Amino acid sequence: ILKTPINEPKTNNLIKSIDNPSDYKLENATLMIMARNSELNGVIYTIKQIEEKFNSKFNYPYVFLNNEDFNLKFKEKIKKFTKSNLYFEKIQPEIWNQPNWINKERQKNEMKLLKNQNIAYANKLSYHNMCRFYSMNFYNHPRMKQFKYYWRFEPNTDYFCNIDYDVFKFMELNNKIYGFVISLYDSHQSIKSLWTETINFLNLNNFNNKNLINSNAAINFLTENLQNPEKTKFTNGYSTCHFWSNFEIGNMDFFRSNAYNSWVNYLDSTGGFYYERWGDAPVHSIGVSLFANKNDIHWFRDIGYKHHPYTNCPNSNKCNGCEPGKFTFDNLKDQNCLTNWWNFEMDDSAKQIY
Ligand code: GDP
Ligand code: MN
């Protein structure tokens, strides 16, 4: 529980809201969601909150992504809840489906093992496709290509607090490349070789790929400063701590960069999205923590957010529907690793609040 009320943003140069609507220039940004037609109600549930708390002030466009065509009912219903432009987009099968060189026999055997260890979605091919798409393809989707910033959201998530400033302008004016709210450990079985393969990648080209690492990278966030061998022993040094990606705000110029792309394409070539169950959250997290400047990663402490089963409820009178100051995971503390971000990486000015 936080004692000091949260008062964001701390940055002085931020344009807080629209004083003169006709003059206001939006950032090149979109609200992005992947969903199935069957998730219509959950999508509406969350869009209502995003509109009320944030987007009705700005009218940023939405991009809806699906591996199938969205049906008429889906498209017509969504329109009722926002004035923004809506783009309903299909993900092409050659992007969505697993590459044909994946060894089906090996995949089947590995997934049987993961399933026996109760790793969620191990057996669900569409889930692997989704994670791979969010790891290495969403920013190159023809529709997404026109945008610089995205805010990813998911059906049935909650946004509790008024956001009275333009979060995309915040990203732009402060040179942020990635924003998150919640951070937690992953199941090590799902990403057994992700860190090993990352090290393999960095050692390529006569170790020259190491030069892709940012000189102010958030590496201690990933390795837990090597203080906790228990946490890193199954994964060859990665603590599995990651930014939860079901809410994230990002600058796609970063994801489109040579560093991120050559790394994630190397990862893909190992088949780990299918022989293991790599999530897009640890992939994004390792990517930004290695290849970006840690000062450009932002913890949005002021965004009240819930994706089952975790909640972040800021201590602020701008929030309702959650318990102010109730941080995350009150029953699931051992899974929370946000303190690693605070302790190892957060700059001192950001820490003053505690
Ligand atoms: P979890 O949060 O890891 O339990 O995964 P979710 O089931 O919430 O899936 C993550 C996001 O991808 C959600 O926005 C889902 O709607 C979406 N999603 C997952 N699988 C599929 C799929 O096969 N097709 C489509 N269209 N969306 C999917
Ligand atoms: Mn989800």
What is the per-residue pLDDT across 57-89, written as a single tens digit (0 to 9) for each? 999 999 999 999 999 999 999 999 999 999 999
Which of 197, 224, 248, 345 is flagged as catalytic? 248
With a threshold of 0.85, tell me whether the complex ipTM lies above it: yes
> Does the structure show a pLDDT above 70 at 222?
yes
Which residue CA neighbors atom 16 of ligand 1 most closely?
Answer: 35
Nearest to residue 347, comparing CAs of 299, 312, 304? Answer: 299
- CA torsion sign, 26 to 89 to 265 to 199? positive
Q: Which two tokens mark 7?
A: 């008062």
* Mean pLDDT of all residues belonging to the chain: 91
Which residue CA neighbors atom 5 of ligand 1 most closely?
Answer: 127
Report pLDDT for 24: 85
Q: Assess contact for 249 and 168: CB atoms under 8 A.
A: yes
pLDDT average, residue stretch 305-333: 83
pTM above 0.90, yes or no: yes
Report pLDDT for 203: 97
For residues 156 and 45, give the distance between their C-alpha atoms in angstroms, rounded to a whole number. 6
Q: Where are the domains of the chain?
A: 26-351
Does any ligand 1 atom lie closer than 6 A to the CB of residue 130?
A: yes
Phi, psi of 346 (to 5 degrees): -75, 140
Question: Within its chain, how far is the Cα of 43 from the centroid?
Answer: 17
Report pLDDT for 4: 56
> Does the structure show a pLDDT above 80 at 121?
yes
Distance 133 CA to ligand 1 centre (A): 11
> Does the structure show a pLDDT above 80 at 212?
yes
What does the chain come to in residues? 354
Does any ligand 1 atom lie closer than 6 A to the CB of residue 46?
A: no
CATH code of the domain made up of 26-351: 3.90.550.10
